[in-house]
Amino acid sequence: MTTAAADTVLPVTQRGEPLTVVDLGEDRWLDFLRRANRAFQSGRCVTEADLPVRRATFARHRFSGVVDGDRLVATFRTWDAPVTVPGGSVVTDMISGVTVDPARRRRGLLTAMMQRDLHRARDAGTVMAMLVASQSPIYGRFGFGHATGALTWRVDLPAEVGTALPPGTDDVDVELVEDADLAAVAPAVYAAAAAGQPGAIAIDAERWDTTLGTVAVPGEDADRLRPALLARIGEEVVGYARYQLPEVWESGRYRSELTIEDLCASTPAALAALWRQLLGIDLVATVKATRPASDLLPELLVDRRRAAVVAQEDVYWVRLLDVPAALAARRYCAPVDVVVEVGDPLVLSGGRWRVRVDDAGLGSGHVPGGLPAEISATAAAPDVELDVATLSATYLGETSLVRLAAAGRVVERTPGAVRRFGAALAWEPTTSPTLHGF
């Protein structure tokens, strides 16, 4: 836990008492969990038994909130962890457990908690913050932008895989295992896959235990089968899939739906081999999966229309805390030389910078990991003006700057500058691990 920042005095009071955001110690964890889960409408009672599986993780997290008398009326939890960005990774302020008591809404509690944490993180040298929003309109005002989305596919079987498959797909052995069998191998495969998908988060050992069911989690049915697939090339594990398959038997026919909970591969061949197996399990009528936009599924099918997008959603929201450091921490796909003016409503990281991506030797400049940028403060006239939420939205390479400009969120002072800067920011992921919540 970091040293307590100066407590923020809220502009509102309850019964005449000033409310402040305070750091919360271990003695408040249970209370925190109860309040937060109730606000998120979890239907389960939280008890002491819920703490042990979380203890090691919580010890690394920062808990804060607002206490009114004895009562915790707002919660906020953050921790530092690496997040993949185009061509690299940056230590990120991960934000979760953000709730305000329904009886204390509209009094500035969220603003106070968020400002306090973002300032703390910026002062600690953290270059970006990230969260998953319970509702979409909440976090834009704090400078967060929607950076990474997911699609839910429904595939009606049979769906033949195969006109074009990645080289080596047939060399991948896929075997039926269960979640617990993944314990020793999944973390490394996930880490390899996460490195190719901007936005992919780090998963700690305790979370692997609860995800794979190797520790007892209160409220989880320990008798439920946890089917999984493991993909190998020779001895090397290159992918895994975790799924649920409740039997549905209607009118003398199987109508089971297979839901892919987690699909992760370190190579396209492994991903294709896993998809082929998941779409080829007997007695299954439909397969459903929520996947990053970069998934190859339609390209793997003989008939791409067998895969229907049934939902699309925003997943990760990013907030840059140190614009020049963040821009220098990622790689780019196109050269650019542009002066960018960034506005920041929270006065954390506004300013004007020259972003220069040099195409060192065009003829030989095939840089597999992308091109680095030089970022320097400048007083030159800006080519592009935008607020930090807009830049944050485009930072992971998925959200298009040109599209945001067309929606009126970017001012272009030099014709063509938005397209040039947008082309440099755009980035195609090389893998597509399932995007995990946090």
Partner 1 sequence: MVNATSPVQVVQLGEDRWLEFLQRSQRAFQNERRMTAADVDVRRTGYGHQRLSGVIDEGRLVSTFRSWDGDLPVPGGSTSVDLISSVTVEPTHRRRGILRTMMTADLLRARKAGTAVAMLQATESPIYGRFGFGKSLDMVTWRITTPTPLMPAPPGVDDVRVVLVEDADLAGLAPGIYDAARAGQPGAIPLTDGDWGVLLGTVTVPGVDRDKLRPALLAHSGEDVVGYARYTVTEATEHKLPTSELVVQEVAASTPQALVALWRQLLSMDLVAVVTAPNRPASDRLPELLADRRRAIQTDNQDAHWLRVLDVRAALTARRFSAPVDVVLDVTDPLGLATGRWRVLAADAGDGTAGWAVEVTETGAEPDVMMDIGPLSAAYLGETPLLHLQDVGRVTEHSPGAVRRLGAALQWQPASAPTLHGF
Task: Give catalytic residues, as residue numbers.
Answer: 139, 438
Q: Kindly state whether residue 51 participates in binding partner 1, applying the rule CB under 8 A.
A: no
The residue range among 200-208, 209-217, 342-350, 394-402 that interacts with partner 1, by the rule CB under 8 A, is 394-402
- Residue 360 binds partner 1, judged by CB under 8 A: no
Among 16, 69, 234, 363, binds partner 1 (CB under 8 A): 363
Rounded CA-CA distance 421/340 in Å is 9
β-strands 336-343, 384-387: how paired?
Answer: parallel
Residue 193's Cβ-side half-sphere holds a number of Cα atoms within 13 Å equal to 31
**Rule CB under 8 A: is residue 136 a binding residue for partner 1?**
yes
Does 74 interact with partner 1 (rule: CB under 8 A)? Answer: no
Residue from 198, 239, 422, 433 that binds partner 1 (CB under 8 A)?
Answer: 422
- Kindly indicate which of the ranges 55-63, 226-234, 379-387, 418-426 contains the residues binding partner 1, using the contact rule CB under 8 A: 418-426
Q: Considering only 27-35, 44-52, 54-62, 413-421, which stretch makes contact with partner 1 by CB under 8 A? A: 413-421
Q: Does 288 bind partner 1 (CB under 8 A)?
A: no
CA nearest to 335, candidates 301, 365, 309: 365
Is 334 a binding residue for partner 1 by CB under 8 A? The answer is: yes
Task: Name the segment binding partner 1 (CB under 8 A); options: 246-254, 320-328, 374-382, 406-414.
Answer: 406-414
Gap between the Cα atoms of 320 and 219, Å rounded: 37
**Is residue 272 at the binding interface for partner 1, with CB under 8 A as the rule?**
yes
Contact positions with partner 1 (CB under 8 A) in 155-174 = 163-167, 169
Contact between 154 and partner 1 per CB under 8 A: no
How many of the other CB atoms lie within 10 Å of CB of 135?
A: 6
Kindly state the smallest distance separating residue 337's Cβ from partner 1, in Å: 11
Binding mask 293-332 for partner 1 (x = CB under 8 A): -x-x--xx-xxxx--xx-xxxx------------------
Closer Cβ to partner 1, 238 or 405, answer by number: 405
Residue number with CB closer to partner 1 (78 or 84): 84
CA angle at residue 247 from 241 to 251, to 5 degrees? 140
Contact footprint for partner 1 (CB under 8 A): 135-137, 146, 151, 163-167, 169, 268, 271-272, 294, 296, 299-300, 302-305, 308-309, 311-314, 333-335, 359, 362-363, 365-370, 400-409, 411, 415-420, 422-424, 426, 428, 430
